[in-house]
Amino acid sequence: MQKNIAVLRGDGIGPEIMEEALRCLDAVERRFGHSFATSEALLGGAAIDAVGAPLPAETLAVCKASDAVLLGAVGGPKWEHLPGDARPEKGLLGLRQGLGVYANLRPATLFPQLAAASPLRADIAAAGIDFLVVRELIGGIYFGVHKTEEKGGQQVATDVMEYSESEIERILHVAFGAAQKRRGKVTSVDKANVLDTSRLWRAVAGRVAQQYPSVEFENMLVDNAAMQIVKNPAQFDVVVTENMFGDILTDEASMITGSIGMIPSASLGAPGAPGLFEPIHGSAPDIAGKNLANPVGTILSVGMMLRYSLGMPTEADAVEAAVLAVLESGLRTADAAGPDDVPVGCEEMGRAVAAAIGKA
């Protein structure tokens, strides 16, 4: 198959982790006989330095014309003095909005080989952590009206949370579609005992669930979900929720899996539109250019790209199996290394995973 992929290396460790992700993509290309054409474009601080804007029009055009977009990370101290609208992170928000990616998929996976890195009690971690959070990304309270006004001699602030049936319905379909490709269970998280938006969410979720009879379905209140994620994470397969609840629960979920450097993400829009794939971490300026970064989150983002945007599940399985094989062999970058491990660099880790893909 021939596919076009936009590549945005970004800032900090972005270029070095992307180099290893592309090495693994090359290995998939060779192993499975595909042809991946990559187009590099500028985003974030790199774009500000080159052309004076964090999201050049040409970058958005290249991304929109591609089958998928692969991103490293953006930002860093060099651009922190700039006003909010001119900063690197604004480029990333503009890209998400420009691509219309409303569904953010973040797996919470604890690799058994890294169980000691989880802050959870050993018996809870041993039961396994392998679930996917599907978060609504471009609606809800983050995108409602925000205002602060003077009332009765004091400041009063208001943030409006609004969801339409169609916004809820489309994200629920993403969750059920993902569950069909996983272990077939969806947990919809809301606050239906208090919020109208949640009551509508729950009604729509129930309707959508009826269209997927083979998928087990349950509702859960968000406060209970926050507890269950640390008490019994093994019960979850796909968790779907609105923007703000998802923001909080995904950070909780990533924390229990150990290193931030291991976790990929996918942001998806309308069917057929290019998805955006990136590790969940930032540009890690403290370790940039030192060959210390963990490239696995970006490599697994390649896996998610193959699975969710390019329709290549076998190839995605091969990437994930290669990461597991390399961890099994004992290789670790410094962030995931235990006291007895001798850590390897970013490049060595990337080369090892690429070699393992070749043997898959």
Supply the residues annotated as catalytic.
142, 191, 223, 247, 251
User: CA nearest 178: which of 71, 313, 280?
Assistant: 313
Which of 56, 76, 91, 233 lies at the binding interface for ligand NAD (CB under 6 A)? Answer: 76
Task: List residues bridging with 292 in a β-sheet.
Answer: none
Closest approach of ligand NAD to the CB of residue 355, in Å: 20
Give strand ranges (E) for 101-252: 103-109, 130-136, 146-151, 154-159, 185-190, 216-221, 238-241
Which x/- pattern, by CB under 6 A, does the window 92-131 give for ligand NAD? Answer: x---------------------------------------
User: CA nearest 108: which of 230, 242, 219, 283?
Assistant: 230
Count of C-beta atoms within a 10 Å radius of residue 310: 21
Which lies closer to ligand NAD via its Cβ, residue 200 or residue 248? 248
Closest approach of ligand NAD to the CB of residue 172, in Å: 25
Question: Does residue number 260 form part of the binding site for ligand NAD (CB under 6 A)?
Answer: yes
User: CA nearest 73: which of 17, 138, 5, 6?
Assistant: 17
Distance CA 192, CA 200 (A): 8
Closest approach of ligand NAD to the CB of residue 291, in Å: 11
Question: Does residue number 304 form part of the binding site for ligand NAD (CB under 6 A)?
Answer: no
Which x/- pattern, by CB under 6 A, does the window 264-303 give for ligand NAD? Answer: --------------x--xxxxxxx-----xx--x------
Which of 7, 47, 74, 129 lies at the binding interface for ligand NAD (CB under 6 A)? Answer: 74
Question: Does residue number 62 form part of the binding site for ligand NAD (CB under 6 A)?
Answer: no
Count of residues engaged in binding ligand NAD, rule: CB under 6 A: 22
- The pair phi, psi for residue 88, each rounded to 5°, is -55, -40
Which of 89, 216, 317, 348 lies at the binding interface for ligand NAD (CB under 6 A)? Answer: 89
User: CA nearest 163: which of 133, 209, 203, 134?
Assistant: 203
Which lies closer to ligand NAD via its Cβ, residue 93 or residue 127? 93
Tokens 């393992």, residue located:
356
* DSSP per-residue letters across 209-252: HTT-TTSEEEEEEHHHHHHHHHH-GGG-SEEEE-HHHHHHHHHH
Which lies closer to ligand NAD via its Cβ, residue 175 or residue 260? 260
Which lies closer to ligand NAD via its Cβ, residue 186 or residue 293? 293
Which lies closer to ligand NAD via its Cβ, residue 206 or residue 338? 338
Which of 3, 16, 56, 75 lies at the binding interface for ligand NAD (CB under 6 A)? Answer: 75
According to DSSP, the β-strands at 103-109 and 130-136 are antiparallel
Closest approach of ligand NAD to the CB of residue 286, in Å: 5
Which are the contacts of 125, defined by CB distance < 8 A and separation ≥ 6? 110, 115, 118, 256
Contact 144, 160 (CB under 8 A): yes
Which of 107, 140, 246, 261 lies at the binding interface for ligand NAD (CB under 6 A)? Answer: 261
- Single out the segment in contact with ligand NAD by CB under 6 A; choices: 72-80, 109-117, 194-202, 216-224: 72-80
User: CA nearest 324: which of 277, 265, 248, 262?
Assistant: 262
Helix (H, G, I), strand (E, B) or coil at 107: strand
Contact 264, 295 (CB under 8 A): no
| Residues at the contact surface with ligand NAD, assessed by CB under 6 A | 13, 17, 73-76, 89, 92, 260-261, 278, 281-287, 293-294, 297, 335
